[in-house]
Amino acid sequence: MLSRRDVIKALGLTAVASSSPGLALAAADTDSRFVLVVLRGAVDGLALAPPYHDDRYRDVRGELALGKPGTDDGVLELDGFFGLHPSLPTLHELYGANEALLVHAVASPYRERSHFDGQDVLESGATAVGLARDGWLNRALSPLAGTPAIALAQNTPLVLRGDNATTSWAPSRLPDADENTIGRLQRLYAEDEFFATRLEQALKSQEIAMDMGASGRRGNEAQQFGELMTSAARFLVAEDGPRIAVLEFGGWDTHANQGAVAGQLANRLAALDRGLANLRDGLGKAWSDTVVAVATEFGRTVHVNGTRGTDHGTATAAILAGGAVNGGKVIADWPGLSETNLYEGRDLRPTTDLRSVFKGLLADHLELAPSFLDREVFPGSASARPLENLVRT
Amino acid sequence: MNPVKAVIAANRFGLGAKPGELERIRRPETWLLDQLQGPSRTPAELGRLPDSASVLVEAQALRQAQREARSDDEDAVKKYGRWARGHYVDQASARYRHAAATDLPFHERLVHFWCNHFAVSADKQPLPTIAGLMENEAIRPHTSGRFYDLLLAVETHPAMILYLDNQRSIGPGSTLAKRANRRRRDREVGLNENLAREILELHTLGVDGGYTQDDVTSFAKVITGWSIGGAGERGRFADGEPGHFEFREAIHEPGAKTILGKRYSQSGIEQGRAVLSDLATHPSTARFVSSKLARHFVADVPPTDLVDRMVSSWLETGGELASVYRVLIEADESWTAAHSKYKSPHDFVISTLRAFRHVPDRPQFIVGALDLLGQTPYRPGSPEGWPDTAEQWGGADSLYKRIEWSNTVARLIGSRIDPVELGNAVLGQTLDPETRKAISRAESRVQGMTLLLASPDFQRR
C-alpha cells in the first residue's frame, strides 16, 4: 500500500501541472484507447479488494470476510495489506504484470445513497445531481476531434451523452432491413434531426460490426457483458473505428445473500474478470495503448445487514487495467475500519475523489489539458487534483 | 369535433389507435374521463392468471425440492426454472394481449404507468413468477382511487416485499433480536433498509423530498415485520398464511419513531400505515408524482404551471388520483401539439399491435420483441423503473432495432394491408404529407409498412 505521503505525491500536490491548449489538440489522432465500464448497483469495494490485513477486517465483515492469501478460499495477494477477490484471476495476473492497479476508499462527490442520483453524479461529472444533462466523457471529446466514441449498449449511458457525436451498438438477432428501405428512411428522416443523426450513427456502427463479423449471441447480463467486451475490442482495433468505448454492467446491489467466496457477488466478479480477459485478448497489440477504468456509483455498508447482504454505502474501490496502466499497486489513503473511522458510523470513509482518478487518466492518457478538465469536463473539481503516474510514460 | 385532439387522445393518452378508434372519439376529454373507472369486470386475459399467494406457495415447494435434489439430478434443478419461466411468459403475454385489444386504453396506460412507478424487476427469484400479478392485484384496482390505497396495496404486496428484501428485516430491539442476542446468534439479525429507502426516494417524496438517512433508518424500523406468511423454510418464518402479506410482531421494532420531524407512537402495523398515509399526502410526494405523470403524458420537460395545478388538486383532495388526472385531461398544455413524446419500446410494440389489430398467439412474439428493443417486460433492472424521456430511449442502436423490427413485423403481418390507409386510420390528419408521400411511393407494401412504423410520426405519440 502507498503511504499517505505517496498519495499526496500522486495527487500532484507537489508537482506543477503543465498545460497548453495545443497539447490537447495534438491528441486528435491518438492511438490511445480508453474503455470505461460503469458497474451499476453499487459494488462492495470491501469484497472486491478486501483489506485483509486491517485489524478490524474480520470482525466488521463477519460472515462476508475472506481468508488471508494462501489459505483455502483466501484472497489473492496484492500488496501485503489488500487482497483481491478470488473470482478475479485475470485482474490478479494483470496486477502481477504491472498492468492493473486499484484505487481504494474512493468515491465521487456524491454523499447520499440513491443509486440513481449516485450514477447521475458519477456520469455527469458534476458536483451534485441535476447540474449537467450531459456526461463528462462526452464533454472530454471536444478537443479530441477524430476520436469517435461508442457505447456498447442500445441506449447511450449518460456519461457519453451530450453535444459531441457518439454512437451506440448492441448485437441483434433480426435480419437487417435492406439498403433500399434504409435509403428511403434516410430521406424520410432528413427533416427531423433527432431521427436523422441517430440513423447515421447507427449505420456507421453497423458497417464496422458487419466487417468484424460481430456475434449476435445473447445470454443473461453476465454472459452478455463478456460478449460485449469482445465486441468492444473489435471496434477499438478497427482502423477507422472508435478509440473510446463505454460499457455498463448491472446487478451489483447485493442487499441480501451477497455471498463471500462464492455466491451472487462472486459470480458477477467472475463475469467482470472474463470480460477483462476478452478485452485484452481481443485487443492484441492495441492492449498496450489501452486503459480500462471500472467504476461504480458508491460502495456499501461496512457491516453485514440483517439479510446477509450490505446496504448502500459511500466509498468503494475502482479498477484501472490495460497495457498503458502503470500498475502493480493499490492507491489508497486508507481510512481504517474501526467504528470511529467509518463515514457516518456505517460506511467506508472516502479519502480519494474518483474525479482525481478520471482526471489523471484524461490528462496523461488522452493528453487533455488540466485547465480544460477543470473548466469543462469536471467543473468545480479544482480541489480534486488529477492523480499522477496512473499511466506509463 | 377536433380531429387532431382525437389523435392525441388515442395515441398520447391511449395506447395507439386501432383502425376505427379515431372515428369513435367524438369528445376526446369525455372519452378519456369515461375510462377512469376501468372495466366493470376483470378482463378475460387477466382473469385466467393464478393469484400470487398460490404461485409463491408452489415456488417455495419447488425450490425446496431443487435444494434437496442431488446435484446430478438435472431435472429437479431445471424444473423450477422452467416452471418460473412459464408463469413469467403467461403474465407478460396476458398483459400485452390485453393492451393490444382493450377499448379502455387510457385506463390501461395508467396501469402501466403505476406499474413502472412501483417497479419490481423480474431478474431476481421469485419475481418473474409474480411481477405481473402485482400489477393486477395491487395496482389495477386502485388506479383511479386514492394514492394512499394504491401505495398501501403495493407496499404490502409480496412481490414488493420480496423484491426489496423486507421480509426478514429485523428490528434490533424486537423480541426475536433480543432472544438471538442472548444466544449470541447476531449474524442474521438486523435491519434491511432497502424497502424503506425506495419508498421514500422512488414511491413517494422523491430523492429531493426532504428526508435524511435518519428518516430512512427510522422508517426501516417502522416497517420491520412487514413480511410474508410462510416466508421461509426455517421455523420462525414458517407461520402465517402462506404467500400472503403477514405482519410479524416478533421481528417488529417496538416503540415510537420519528420521521420527517413527526413522532409516530402507534403500535404494530398501524405505525407503518400512519407513516404511509402522511407520505401519500405530503407536498413533496404530490409534486414528485405529478411531475412524473405530466412527463409521461405531456412532455419530457413537463410544463411547470400544469404540474403546479396537479399538485394543488392532489393536496386539496388528499391524493384522489381521478381529480389529478382530470387536471391533466382538461389542461390546454396536454393538447397543444401531436407527436410530442418519443415512444418507449413498450409504447411502440403495443401501438403496432393495435394498428394491425393483431393479438399475437405466440407469447414469444411479444416478449422477444420487447427484449430485443431493450424493454423486457417486467424487467426494468432496478426499482427506479424504465426511463420516460427521448434522451434516455434515443440511442442510435435503439432506433436501428426499431427499424429492423418494423421491417420484420411488416413482413409477418403487414403485407396484406395498404400502408397509406393504415397510416390515415391510426394517425389521421397528423400523418405528415411527406411521410404519406414516402409510404405511397414505396416499392412494396412491406416496405411502405416499414416506413410507416419507423416514421417519426408513428415513433412519437
Residue A217: per-residue pLDDT: 43
Task: Give the CA radius of gyration of chain A.
Answer: 21
**Cell numbers at B326, concatenated:** 382530470
ipTM of the complex: 0.87
Q: Cβ contacts (< 8 Å) between B168 and chain A: which residues?
A: 256, 306-307
Cα–Cα distance measured from residue B113 to residue B109, given in angstroms and rounded to the nearest whole number: 6
* Nearest chain A Cα distance for residue B113, angstroms: 19
Residue of A nearest to B207 (CA): A114
Q: How many CB pairs under 8 A join A and B?
A: 166
Backbone angles phi, psi at A291, to 5 degrees: -125, 130
Interface test with chain B among A120, A154, A267, by most B beta carbons within 10 Å: A154
Q: Nearest chain B Cα to A166, which residue?
A: B396
- List, in order, residues 6 or more apart from B349 with CB less than 8 Å away: B96, B366, B369, B370, B373
Which member of B382, B404, B454 has the closest CB to residue A176? B404
Q: Is A148 on the interface with B (CB under 8 A)?
A: no
Distance CA B231, CA B422 (A): 51
Give CA–CA dist B129/B84, Å, rounded. Answer: 5
Distance of CA B383 to the CA centre of its chain: 10
Contact B25, B33 (CB under 8 A): no
Residue among A133, A172, A251 whose CB faces B404 most closely: A172
Closest residue of A to B369, CA-based? A174
Q: Report CB contact under 8 Å: B404, A202.
A: no
Chain A residues touching B406 at Cβ < 8 A: 177
Q: Do B188 and A308 touch (CB under 8 A)?
A: yes
Q: In angstroms, rounded to a whole number, what is the distance separating the alpha carbons of residues A119 and B387?
A: 14
A124: which chain B residues are within 8 Å (Cβ-Cβ)? none
A176 vs B: CB within 8 A: yes
Residues of A in contact with B372 (CB under 8 A): 172-174
Q: Which residues of A touch B392 (CB under 8 A)?
A: 155
Regarding beta strands A352-353 and B262-264, do their DSSP bridges make them parallel or antiparallel, or are they unpaired?
unpaired
From chain A, pick out residues whose CB is under 8 angstroms from the CB of B443: 180
Tell me which chain B residues have a C-beta less than 8 angstroms from the C-beta of A178.
407
| H/E stretch holding B132 | helix B131-134
Least CA distance to B389: which residue of chain A? A155
Is omega for the bond preceding B126 within 30 degrees of 0, making it cis?
A: yes
Q: Does A196 lie at the interface with B, CB-CB under 8 angstroms?
A: no
Based on DSSP, count helices (H) and strands (E) in chain B, helices before strands.
Answer: 25, 4
Q: Which of A59, A115, A150 to mutate against chain B (most B CBs within 10 Å)? A: A115
Say whether B398 and A167 touch across the interface (CB within 8 A): no
Tell me the nearest-neighbour CA distance from A174 into chain B, angstroms: 6
Q: For residue B147, how many other CB atoms are within 10 A of its CB?
A: 25
Cβ contact A181–B168 (<8 Å): no
CB spacing of A308 vs B165 below 8 angstroms: no
Q: Choose among B99, B105, B112: nearest CA to B366.
A: B99
pLDDT tens by residue, chain B, 461 residues: 578 999 999 999 999 999 999 999 999 999 999 999 888 888 888 999 999 999 999 998 888 888 777 766 777 768 888 999 999 999 999 999 999 999 999 999 999 999 999 999 998 889 999 999 999 999 999 999 999 999 999 999 999 999 999 998 999 999 988 888 777 654 557 899 999 999 999 999 999 999 999 999 999 999 999 999 986 555 667 788 999 999 999 999 999 999 999 999 999 999 999 999 999 999 999 999 999 999 999 999 999 999 999 999 999 999 999 999 999 999 999 998 878 899 999 999 999 999 999 888 888 888 989 998 999 999 998 999 999 999 899 999 999 999 999 988 888 777 678 899 999 999 999 999 999 999 998 888 888 999 999 999 999 99
Interchain proximity A202–B168, CB inside 8 Å = no
Burial zone of B393 (CB within 10 Å; 0-12 exposed, 13-18 middle, 19+ buried):
buried
- C-alpha span between B407 and A172 (Å, rounded): 14
- pLDDT for A3: 42
**CB-based contact B192 A113, cutoff 8 Å:** no
Q: Note which residues in 201-260 of chain A have CB less than 8 A from chain B.
A: 201-203, 205-206, 221, 250-251, 253, 255-256
Cβ-Cβ contacts under 8 Å, A112 against chain B:
207, 213
Mutation choice for B interface testing from A184, A217, A303, A310 by most B CBs within 10 A = A184
The helix (H) or strand (E) run that includes residue B349 is: helix B345-355
**Which of B169, B197, B400 is the closest to A306 by Cβ?**
B169
Whether the CB of A172 is below 8 Å from some CB of chain B: the reply is yes
Q: Which residues of B touch A133 (CB under 8 A)?
A: 391
Least Cα distance to B195 among B217, B214, B173 occurs for B217
In chain B, the residue whose alpha carbon lies closest to the alpha carbon of A183 is: B451
Say if the Cβ atoms of A194 and B434 lie within 8 Å: no
In order, the DSSP letters of A243-296 are: SEEEEEE------S---SSSSHHHHHHHHHHHHHHHHHHHHGGGGGGEEEEEEE
Domains of chain A: 4-17+32-171+214-288+300-312+325-348+370-377 (3.40.720)
Looking at the complex, report in whole angstroms how far the Cα of residue B103 sits from the nearest Cα belonging to chain A.
31
Q: Using the beta-carbon criterion (under 8 Å), do A172 and B401 form an inter-chain contact?
A: yes
- CA A84 to chain B, closest CA, distance in angstroms equals 24
Nearest to A256 among B165, B216, B406 (CB): B165
Q: Which residue of B has its CA nearest to A133?
A: B391
Interchain contact, B123 vs A172, CB within 8 Å: no
What residue of B is the nearest CA neighbor of A181? B447
Residues of chain B with C-beta less than 8 angstroms from the C-beta of A194: 342, 390, 394, 456
CB contact under 8 A, A181 and B450: yes
* Separation in Å, CA of B407 to nearest CA in chain A: 6
Contact B394 A256 (CB under 8 A): no
Which residues of A fall within a CB distance of 8 Å from B403? 177, 181-182, 185, 199
Q: Which residues pair with B257 in a beta bridge?
A: B264
List Cβ neighbours of B109 (8 Å cut-off, separation of 6 or more).
Answer: B13, B14, B15
3 state SS of A120: helix
pLDDT per residue, tens digit, chain A (393 aa), is: 444 334 333 333 322 222 222 222 233 356 899 999 999 989 999 999 999 999 999 999 999 999 999 998 899 999 999 999 999 999 999 999 999 999 999 999 999 998 888 999 999 999 998 788 899 999 999 998 778 899 998 778 999 999 898 888 887 767 677 778 898 999 999 999 999 999 999 988 877 776 655 544 445 677 789 989 999 999 999 988 899 999 999 889 899 899 999 999 999 999 999 999 999 999 999 999 999 999 999 999 999 998 899 999 999 999 999 999 999 999 999 999 999 999 999 999 999 999 999 999 999 999 999 999 999 999 999 999 999 999 998
Q: Kind and range of the H or E element at A138?
A: helix A136-140
Q: CA torsion, points B118, B122, B127, B131, in degrees to nearest 10?
A: 50
Three cell numbers, residue A130: 441535476
- Chain B residues touching residue A253 (CB < 8 angstroms): 382
Instruction: Give A209→chain B minimum CA distance, Å.
Output: 12
**Which contiguous run of DSSP H or E holds residue B144?**
none
Residue A87 is given by DSSP the state T
Chain B residue with minimum CA distance to A162: B391
User: Cβ–Cβ of B408/A169 closer than 8 Å?
Assistant: no
The C-alpha cell 467506508 sits at A348
The whole-number pLDDT of residue A25 equals: 29
What's the rounded Cα separation, in Å, for the pair B454 and B251?
A: 54
